A and B are shown apart, each in its own frame.
Chain A
Amino acid sequence: MLKIEDLHAEIDGKAILKGLTLEVNAGEVHAIMGPNGAGKSTLGYVLGGRPGYEVTQGSVTFDGQDLLELEPHERAAAGVFLGFQYPVEIPGVSNVQFLRESLNAQRVGRGEKPLSGGEFLKLAREQAAGLGLDQEMLKRPVNVGFSGGEKKRNEMVQMGIIDPKFAILDETDSGLDIDALRIVGDGINRIMRKADKAVLLITHYQRLLDYVQPDRVHVLADGRIVRSGGPELALALEREGYAGVAA
């Protein structure tokens, strides 16, 4: 589904990704772990197409299509979802409006019919309930005044509504207490654990992986994948730290 080959990327002329190669197939969950500053978020942003993140070498294909050629909103319509490490606050735009615009823009982009207000609200309510997000928060401006945990749940509500093919989840577990972690983990499984979908789970900790079992675990350090393995690699990292395992 996603094929990254020898990816190099820089920000403001500074090389961050330095030859990253990774393939994720349909039906798989891959975890990416690694020390702070390794380039994990940069990988997410590059896949999402954030301005200022310049690819200098390598390729990314998504379902055989050149992902790097697409505008950010076209990537979304193609089925790519980026869950942000730091979800952005948007004063003056309600969650409901934002989500409806998002979903319908994607549907229109794919040549599907937009959902009516009623259809959309039903879907939004279901997803909010599934992730334990207060219905009132759907009416509030996007992420404004949300706690860290609420922002992360809101990201997952968005993912549930948008129902993407491929999700990059950047530290979705940070800021969650243990109950919220379980709810979010269940949500990821419910929405994304399907034969025709795949997930790239960026995390620091083993604890999310207790709920969302990865098929593959990769260690990203200094802009490259330095080690790959099965779920046991995450446990080894938890015991021995990055220095021990990645060396």
Chain B
Amino acid sequence: MTQLLDLPSNRDEAWRWADLGGIAAAAALAPVAAPDAEFLDLPGAKLLFVDGVLDEARSDLGPVTLGPVTLGAVDAGDHPLGRRASHGWTLRLAADAAADPVQVVHVATGRENHVAAAIELADDAAVQVVETYVGAGWSNRLARITLGKAARLMRSVRLLQAAGFTSLREEATLGEGASLVTTVLGAGDAGTRIDGAVTLAGEGGYAEFGGALLTRAEQRQECAVRVRHAAPNGQSHQLWRAVAADRSVASLAAAVEVARHAQKTDGEQSLRGLLLQRSATVNLKPELEIFADDVKCAHGATVGELDARALFYMQSRGIPPARAQALLTRAFVADALDRIGDERVREAFVADADAWLERAL
């Protein structure tokens, strides 16, 4: 517990919306019974971590190896939360390797746990990774992602913890023509901090980093993502939707950085918040730092409420108010979840969002 003394401070701009008290409280949560593992019915490797330790009997490693995660020479890991994780899983795929999805379920039963992951795709390799967080406690993760030339990674993460805190530090480097699509759904009752750093290092890279954060009661969920265009002809999209009910707070900070020689960059940020009650808060902070002159960067940030005219229209057709709110909210979130390419995965995520709506409305 002494480690908690060196958490960052809210006085630090990058952490000003972070629920640091929530992390400390999560780490102190008394043990709870482990919930079900929640694997989706997909082929491919399945990894089950219980409190950060692999449950080998209930896992099927496939192409994944375990142990100390080598994080590469570039950066020994200086993220204030991410640096706590050093052991975990490594996925190294060659171009011709089988491309079945890799599923990872993280079960927490109280206290704190830390796991690191290294995902390294060789040139032309392609894979889908689906991760799910359930249980209670502080689950802290570091993912270091390296994509070779034209490699493709589709990554979908659902945060479904019933209590506690989930913090994700995601660092990705994309080679020439590589593609990374990361979609996060926060639909549990835990606090959240998603910290992303994506670098388009090679020419013509493509990155999406987005998702939906659904918060209610006193919950606080937050994401802070920075996409760096370091080479020309790259494309990036950060499409986030935040829905906040009751007295909860959802915060989105998305930055795009375009280096001087990263000409013809096409960057898009779309941050939208929806307040289900006026007592809730959505913070949005889009940021552009452009040092090249021939770039196209679109950004929008808006916070609103459900359309009262649409609600009345639906009710006048017989739809009860809670259901009308759920349908409109679902439509609001759909843009973000539509980015998940695999229909089976997308449907599971939509079902989780629906379950959240049932609880919140």
Contacts and interface: CB of A to CB of B under 8 A. Distances in A.
Interface of A: 48-51, 71-73, 75-77, 82, 84, 87-93, 97-99, 101-103, 105-106, 109, 158, 162
Contacts of A97: 327
B318 A51 contact: no
B320 to A, nearest CB: 5
Contact of B320 (A50, A73, A103, A162): A73
A73 B308 CA distance: 14
Contacts of A99: 317
A103 B309 CA distance: 19
B308 to A, nearest CB: 7
A90 B318 CA distance: 16
A154 to B, nearest CB: 12
In this complex, the member of A51, A98, A101 whose beta carbon has the largest number of chain B beta carbons within 10 angstroms is A101
Contacts of B315: 49, 71-73, 76
B328 A73 contact: no
Given A84-B316, A92-B334, 6 more contacts: A76-B318, A92-B330, A102-B314, A102-B317, A105-B323, A109-B318
Contact of B316 (A48, A90, A92, A101): A48
Listed from nearest, the 7 A-B pairs whose CB atoms lie closest are A92-B331, A76-B318, A106-B318, A102-B317, A72-B315, A88-B313, A105-B318
B308 A51 contact: yes
A75 B330 CA distance: 25
B15 interface: no
Contacts of B310: 88-90
Given A92-B334, A93-B328, A93-B331, A101 B312 contact: no
Interface string B10-24: 000000000000000
A92 B331 CA distance: 5
B43 to A, nearest CB: 29
Chain A's interface: helix, strand, loop or mixed, by majority? helix
Interface string B310-354: 101111111111011001101110110000000000000000000
Given A51-B312, A71-B315, A90-B314, A105 B320 contact: yes
Contacts of A109: 318
Contact of A73 (B307, B321, B334, B335): B321
Contacts of A101: 314, 319, 323, 327
> For chain B, which range describes its interface: under 10, 10 to 19, 20 to 34, or 35 or more residues?
20 to 34
Contacts of A75: 316
A169 B310 CA distance: 18
B317 A98 contact: yes
Interface in B71-129: none
B357 to A, nearest CB: 13
Contact of B317 (A49, A91, A162): A162
A103 to B, nearest CB: 7
Given A50-B312, A90-B310, A73 B331 contact: no
A102 B328 contact: no
A82 B316 CA distance: 7
A40 B312 CA distance: 18
A105 B307 CA distance: 20
A158 B317 contact: yes
Contacts of B307: 88, 90
Given A90-B331, A92-B332, A93-B328, A84 B313 contact: yes
A27 B317 CA distance: 22
Contacts of B332: 92
B319 to A, nearest CB: 5
A99 B314 CA distance: 9
Most buried by A among B317, B319, B321, B332: B317
13 contacts: A51-B312, A71-B315, A73-B319, A73-B321, A75-B316, A87-B313, A90-B313, A92-B334, A92-B335, A97-B327, A98-B327, A109-B318, A162-B317
Nearest to B313: A88
B327 A93 contact: yes
A223 B330 CA distance: 40
A106 B317 CA distance: 8
B318 A162 contact: yes
Contacts of B331: 90-93
A105 B319 contact: yes
Contacts of A48: 312, 316
A7 B350 CA distance: 46
A177 B30 CA distance: 70
A230 B259 CA distance: 77
Contacts of B316: 48-50, 72-73, 75-76, 82, 84
Contacts of B327: 93, 97-98, 101
